[in-house]
Structure 1
Amino acid sequence: MQAQVLRNQTLKDTTSPLSAFNRFWENVRAIAGPYWYPTEPGDRAFSDVIRTWAMLILLILLIIALVGVAAFNTFISNYLVNVIIEEKDITKFTQTLSIYGVSLLCVTFLVGFSKFVRKKIALDWYKWLNNRTLSKYLSKRAYYRINFKSDLDNPDQRIAQEIEPVTSNALSFSATFLEKVLEMTAFLVIVWSISQQIAIVMLVYTVIGNLIAIYLTQELNKINQEELELKAEYNYSLNHVRNHAESIAFFQGEKQESNIIHRRFNNLLKNIERKINWERGKEIFNRGYQAIIQIFPFLVLGPLYINGEIDFGQVGQASLATGLFANAMADLISEFGTSGRFSSYVERLSDFSDALEEVTKQPKNVSTIKIIEENHLAFENVTLQTPNYEQVIVEDLSLSVQPGEGLLIVGPSGRGKSSLLRAIAGLWNAGTGRLVRPPLEEVLFLPQRPYIILGTLREQLLYPNTSRQMTDAELKEVLQQVNLQNLLSRVDGFDTEVPWENILSIGEQQRLAFARLLVTHPSFTILDEATSALDLENEGRLYQQLQETKTTFISVGHRESLFDYHQWVLELSQDSSWRLVTVQDYRTQKAIATIPSTNPEIKIDDSSQDKSLIPSETTTVTGLSHKEMNELTDYSVTTIRSKASKGETITNRDGITYRYDKNTKVLKWVRV
């Protein structure tokens, strides 16, 4: 599995702490830089940057004030204890207690307000980062091109679930780190003023504790990275079932789907169990570390107080300061532990952002089809290749579709019929030549699987121009034209939003797509088997209405009935060649080719065809036995016999297609 390979590579790369930290820091800079330090025009408004930095400065001041008040409270606590035990002055006790109460109240408000400011900054950052990522995802058709990157999984989850933790964790970690480091420094100074011996031991103890924490955190980082990817795989398997529910139900594939889901869930459980075990060790370390550092001051200061060398308040202050120091250290270690998940989110978001930029860049040193926008459609010496330039789909294609005419593209499955439509839409441009087409705003694409948006019936009909104004009566007339007049009886009007893909059959969805055509009246229409789920009567009605609109249209399909609505046929062959003929000539040639032959050698004379469209030459077709076909192809004799009995064609290694003539006087494979 690709995700497993990537996960292993990720774990391998993180074995070097320095390289892992450098990569993590570069990822953080790439994500945070445009927000905090915008360098390119249009990144962020100057006023927004000033407001963000003002809120950050306010947060820092609140944290400094919080640490200062907390340190001040240790002195108040020391004085309060001395007033109670030594001076026993009720007036001083009341005054000191009042000050102590006010300072504790200040701590409460400072904690609450600092967290509020921190979360507001994180929310504003999340809003900006989410909008920026969505803009990159939806621009230049990156959402489409990124599907061809096999090393990137679940882009939807990365946007929906992994952006917010980046901003919230970044602010939480930064604020906590600053607060706890200041607290540890302040409390260390306080302890130093009471006992330098204790302060030195605390400092050494802190260094040792940090080293152990780094080791624990590094392992948890790896586990957290695995957890994110395993959760993504598990979530994808559940979405896959929802998106293909009907197909699974037809195949009764519940058991197999259950096995797949449970296998991914069990992988996730194993990772969680491993994480629990490591977190148990980390928790024991945190608690033990905190307990030891709280006991130590009493071991040193207890004898000093007993001997009268220090007062009781100093013992309490030192104990409180070391306790707060230990708490701050524990919180800091805990933040380092959760930073593993943060680094995983940062890495995945950074990879996603890099992938979006990569797929939208124009490849260097490669040839692309030049697109010219004019008010007609033509291919001029176009050679179309797959996006990775590994396969030629069609070679040196030249044709022009005249206004108001219909062109039907036919050919064997997998020979690039739909790929030509992708080229027209600009989705695929690998190759050479010139493609002349109208602006895409004037072209409407109707795929075999209609696109059903999340919206109301009115928005379904008006898509993609949902701002168009049409009355209910006009929309009802359109539904009548595509034989969907009963649809309104199943929903509460045009402004009702329901799960359309669940309540409409594929045939109804295809008719709904045709309704969009009648609403928008495009100059050019591209249909990719757009009527494959319709009966011949509905198909004929829709194509007749399409012809009445005087639009220029190109269709991809296999049905014989489609020839009735087009003037030209573009046939694509296995060897990337092509031919353009009139519908009448194509039907004539097909009829001749299907006439049973009484001679194993068949001759087809094309002299009656239009010389301007196809070459006039005589093609000789020789009959071959099963064994001879076996030598010319990669099929076994058994498979060849099976295809002969089923009436299927076979293409040999040279791209020549044969069919089996079942005439009792022939019984040979003859060239088509």
Structure 2
Amino acid sequence: MAAAPASALQRFMTVARPYWVGDRRGWAWCFLAGLIVLMLADTQLAVLLNNQTGELTSALAARDAPRFWSAVRAMLWVLAFAVPVFATYYYARDAYANDWRRWLTQRFLDGYLRERRYFHIAAEEIDNPDQRIADDVNTFTGRSLHFLLILLGSLMQLVAFSAVLWSLSHLLVGFLVAYALTGTVLSLGLFGRPLIRLNHWQLKREADLRFRLMRVRENAESIAFYGGEQQERHQLQQRLRAALLNTRKLIRAQFALNLFQRGFSQLSLLVPAVVLSADVLGGRLEVGQAVQAAGAFAAVLGAVSLIIDNFESLSRFVAGIDRLHVMAEALQAAPPEAGIARAQGRELDIKDLTVQAPGSDRVLVEKLSLRVPEGGSLLITGASGCGKSSLLRAIAGLWTQGSGQVSHPPREDVFFLPQRPYLQTGTLRSQLIYPSTQPALDDEALLKILDEVQLRHLAEGEGGLDRTQDWEKLLSGGEQQRLAFARLLVHAPRLAILDEATSALDDANQKRLYERLRQRGTTLISIAHRAAVAGFHRRVLKLKGGGRWTLVRTPRQDTEKTGD
């Protein structure tokens, strides 16, 4: 039986609770207590200002000069405290929200990067995780604190001003309660679910458009070579159209909400005057007391009309909670059960390995057994789509669906080179030592490695190894692959996995780099289509599709094993 969907409060607590019970709980609760103290002081000062406003008005109506100037002095004293308290409260609130955002973003990043969740999460249909971490977390912490504090402030305001209002008019209090309850019920019934749904889709549509624009920027050169501007424009236009269509629906819903909110708030200005008119006109109530009652009425109505006044922001907030809740659950979920067993050893040893495509029963490799001794080499070949890269993913632990066992050296002794290297915008040094953050070699050793891959010129001129560039745009495909080889030489792993890592290199460079790895005694696993690569490997694994395979020694040797 499927579990019932979580309520909005449960989804909120899933995301928010760790901050209040985790390692920052002491600081979080103490700072919140300080904010509440500031809010209490601000509320009490607001009551005093409202009282003095009434006193000031009554003194003017009575033409009593001493009483008027006494009220002015009292109001100035109140303002002297109210202004710094107000400013300090909002400064502290924003600082608190910023700390919460820092903590919660780090928590999401930890989960996102843990156990390669960033790789697997795409298959779970969670769109735009980057936007959820960068934008939705920021909105969540800021809005959560905002709504929590205005809720507490409204309760304080309700208690403080209700006493004032009750002392002036019981009838006004009764009318206020009925008016506020009617408005709240109507706003929830008419605008609640549609606005939340529309805001949820607006967040998704805007993120899709931004992601597509980012893809154009990242692949500008390829698009320019293809002349693909028309296709890209079409794709961008589709996403823009979807965002604008949803925005149009939001505008219509917001128009109806604005009509309701404006009518509700404007009528509230008339209500106190109508209810108290008989007492003022009959001389039973001073004009200043009527002004004081109107101020108290507005304050209490604002407190009990919290949902009505903030309905648009609340609907956007709830939509953002849904997106963060889905991602939080995905990051906290246990990783999928691995059908392929893994073990550590000194060499690559594969036993009865069957690899299946994720989410399907399609077999890519079936019952593969082989051992690559230390310093040995294996070339994987086959037609496009037969499962070569999938086999590498299974060896590296990225794909777990299937059966059998893979034993290989520890992860820090395994290095992977893809066909298109990943290059950051940063220093040349950071490219060489990636993924490490601190270099294990001195500058002289790094420069010597650049010599080996014929890229010494990159370190010449201003900056040297600390020269900063957008290397992906600056370097050609062959230079990028040679820089990736330089990384491999810097880390000196025991096992290197190369997926078409020399496809952009000329034969001379390819031969020199492979021979360099063989001299170091590095175990090599390669995927390649060029026939010349076979000469650098002792055995060749040919994948034939449908799970079938053949393992041979160098092309001039006889077949060792077959998986036909």
- TM-score w.r.t. the length of structure 1 is 0.79
Give a deviation string over 1:182-238, Cα, whole Å, max 9, x none: 324443432332222222112111111112322334332222112101101111110
Whole-angstrom CA distance in 2 between matches of 1:25 and 1:332: 15
Give a deviation string over 1:330-380, Cα, whole Å, max 9, x none: 66523232011111111101111112233x5242xxx62222211111112
1:467 deviates by 1.7
Q: Which residue of structure 1 lines up, in the alignment, with residue 129 of structure 2?
A: 155
Q: Which residue of structure 2 lines up, in the alignment, with residue 290 of structure 1?
A: 265
Whole-angstrom CA distance in 2 between matches of 1:466 and 1:289: 59
SS of equivalent residue, structure 2 residue 367: strand
Match of 2:415 among 437, 440, 444: 444
Match of 1:25 among 2, 9, 34: 9
2:143 corresponds to 1:169: yes
2:353 corresponds to 1:378: no
Q: Which residue of structure 2 lines up, in the alignment, with residue 624 of structure 1?
A: none
2:188 corresponds to 1:204: no
Q: Which residue of structure 2 lines up, in the alignment, with residue 195 of structure 1?
A: 169
Whole-angstrom CA distance in 2 between matches of 1:371 and 1:326: 64
1:69 deviates by 2.5
Q: Which residue of structure 2 lines up, in the alignment, with residue 354 of structure 1?
A: 329
2:53 corresponds to 1:77: yes
1:448 deviates by 0.9
In 2, are the aligned partners of 1:290 and 1:330 still within 8 Å (CA)?
A: no
Paired residue type of 2:541: L
Match of 2:385 among 403, 411, 414: 414
2:277 corresponds to 1:302: yes
1:276 deviates by 2.5
In 2, are the aligned partners of 1:286 and 1:330 still within 8 Å (CA)?
A: no
Whole-angstrom CA distance in 1 between matches of 2:349 and 2:132: 40
Alignment length, in residue pairs?
Answer: 560
2:502 corresponds to 1:531: yes
Match of 2:312 among 317, 337, 362: 337
Whole-angstrom CA distance in 2 between matches of 1:120 and 1:553: 52
Q: Which residue of structure 1 lines up, in the alignment, with residue 291 of structure 2?
A: 316
SS of equivalent residue, structure 1 residue 553: strand
Question: Considering only aligned residues, what root-mean-square deviation do their CA atoms show, in Å?
Answer: 2.3
Give a deviation string over 1:575-633, Cα, whole Å, max 9, x none: 312221111336xxxxxxxxxxxxxxxxxxxxxx36xx147xxxxxxxxxxxxxxxxxx
Change over 3 Å in CA distance of 1:557–1:490 after alignment to 2: farther
SS of equivalent residue, structure 1 residue 319: helix
2:484 corresponds to 1:513: yes
Whole-angstrom CA distance in 2 between matches of 1:332 and 1:113: 26
Higher relative contact order (CA 8 A, sep 6+): 2
1:513 deviates by 0.9
Q: Which runs of 5+ in 1 are unaligned?
A: 1-18, 39-43, 587-608, 616-654, 657-672
Whole-angstrom CA distance in 2 between matches of 1:322 and 1:579: 85
1:569 deviates by 0.9
Higher mean C-alpha deviation, range 463-472 or range 395-404 = 463-472
2:43 corresponds to 1:67: yes
Q: Which residue of structure 1 lines up, in the alignment, with residue 397 of structure 2?
A: 426
Q: Which has the larger radius of gyration?
A: 1
SS of equivalent residue, structure 2 residue 7: helix
1:328 deviates by 4.8
Change over 3 Å in CA distance of 1:205–1:402 after alignment to 2: same
Whole-angstrom CA distance in 1 between matches of 2:561 and 2:274: 102
Change over 3 Å in CA distance of 1:322–1:537 after alignment to 2: same
Q: Which residue of structure 1 lines up, in the alignment, with residue 236 of structure 2?
A: 261
Q: Which residue of structure 1 lines up, in the alignment, with residue 113 of structure 2?
A: 138
Higher mean C-alpha deviation, range 182-191 or range 94-103 = 182-191
Change over 3 Å in CA distance of 1:433–1:491 after alignment to 2: farther
In 2, are the aligned partners of 1:294 and 1:322 still within 8 Å (CA)?
A: no
In 2, are the aligned partners of 1:525 and 1:551 still within 8 Å (CA)?
A: yes
SS of equivalent residue, structure 2 residue 350: strand
In 2, are the aligned partners of 1:384 and 1:395 still within 8 Å (CA)?
A: yes
In 1, are the aligned partners of 2:180 and 2:305 still within 8 Å (CA)?
A: no
Paired residue type of 2:163: V
Change over 3 Å in CA distance of 1:49–1:583 after alignment to 2: same
Whole-angstrom CA distance in 2 between matches of 1:199 and 1:379: 79
In 1, are the aligned partners of 2:201 and 2:246 still within 8 Å (CA)?
A: yes
In 2, are the aligned partners of 1:290 and 1:327 still within 8 Å (CA)?
A: no
1:489 deviates by 4.5
Q: Which residue of structure 2 lines up, in the alignment, with residue 272 of structure 1?
A: 247
Whole-angstrom CA distance in 2 between matches of 1:490 and 1:584: 47
Whole-angstrom CA distance in 2 between matches of 1:218 and 1:430: 40
SS of equivalent residue, structure 2 residue 555: helix
Give a deviation string over 1:544-574, Cα, whole Å, max 9, x none: 2122112111111111101211111111122
Whole-angstrom CA distance in 2 between matches of 1:264 and 1:143: 24
Whole-angstrom CA distance in 2 between matches of 1:307 and 1:574: 98
In 1, are the aligned partners of 2:355 and 2:402 still within 8 Å (CA)?
A: yes
1:495 deviates by 0.3
Change over 3 Å in CA distance of 1:148–1:405 after alignment to 2: same
In 1, are the aligned partners of 2:50 and 2:296 still within 8 Å (CA)?
A: yes
1:285 deviates by 2.6
Whole-angstrom CA distance in 2 between matches of 1:272 and 1:105: 45
Whole-angstrom CA distance in 2 between matches of 1:546 and 1:562: 13
SS of equivalent residue, structure 1 residue 398: strand
In 2, are the aligned partners of 1:368 and 1:432 still within 8 Å (CA)?
A: yes
Q: Which residue of structure 1 lines up, in the alignment, with residue 25 of structure 2?
A: 49
Match of 1:392 among 363, 372, 395: 363
Change over 3 Å in CA distance of 1:373–1:534 after alignment to 2: same
Match of 1:572 among 543, 547, 560: 543
Q: Which residue of structure 2 lines up, in the alignment, with residue 472 of structure 1?
A: 443
1:291 deviates by 2.1
SS of equivalent residue, structure 2 residue 249: helix
In 2, are the aligned partners of 1:417 and 1:556 still within 8 Å (CA)?
A: yes
Paired residue type of 2:358: P
Paired residue type of 1:54: C
SS of equivalent residue, structure 1 residue 216: helix
Higher mean C-alpha deviation, range 181-190 or range 284-293 = 181-190
In 1, are the aligned partners of 2:184 and 2:307 still within 8 Å (CA)?
A: no
SS of equivalent residue, structure 1 residue 310: coil
In 2, are the aligned partners of 1:180 and 1:332 still within 8 Å (CA)?
A: no
Whole-angstrom CA distance in 1 between matches of 2:310 and 2:285: 36
In 2, are the aligned partners of 1:130 and 1:163 still within 8 Å (CA)?
A: yes
SS of equivalent residue, structure 1 residue 585: coil
In 2, are the aligned partners of 1:176 and 1:332 still within 8 Å (CA)?
A: no
Aligned-pair identity in percent equals 35
1:175 deviates by 1.0
Change over 3 Å in CA distance of 1:539–1:321 after alignment to 2: same
1:119 deviates by 1.8
Give a deviation string over 1:409-429, Cα, whole Å, max 9, x none: 111211221222222211122
1:290 deviates by 2.1
- TM-score w.r.t. the length of structure 2 is 0.93
Whole-angstrom CA distance in 2 between matches of 1:329 and 1:105: 29
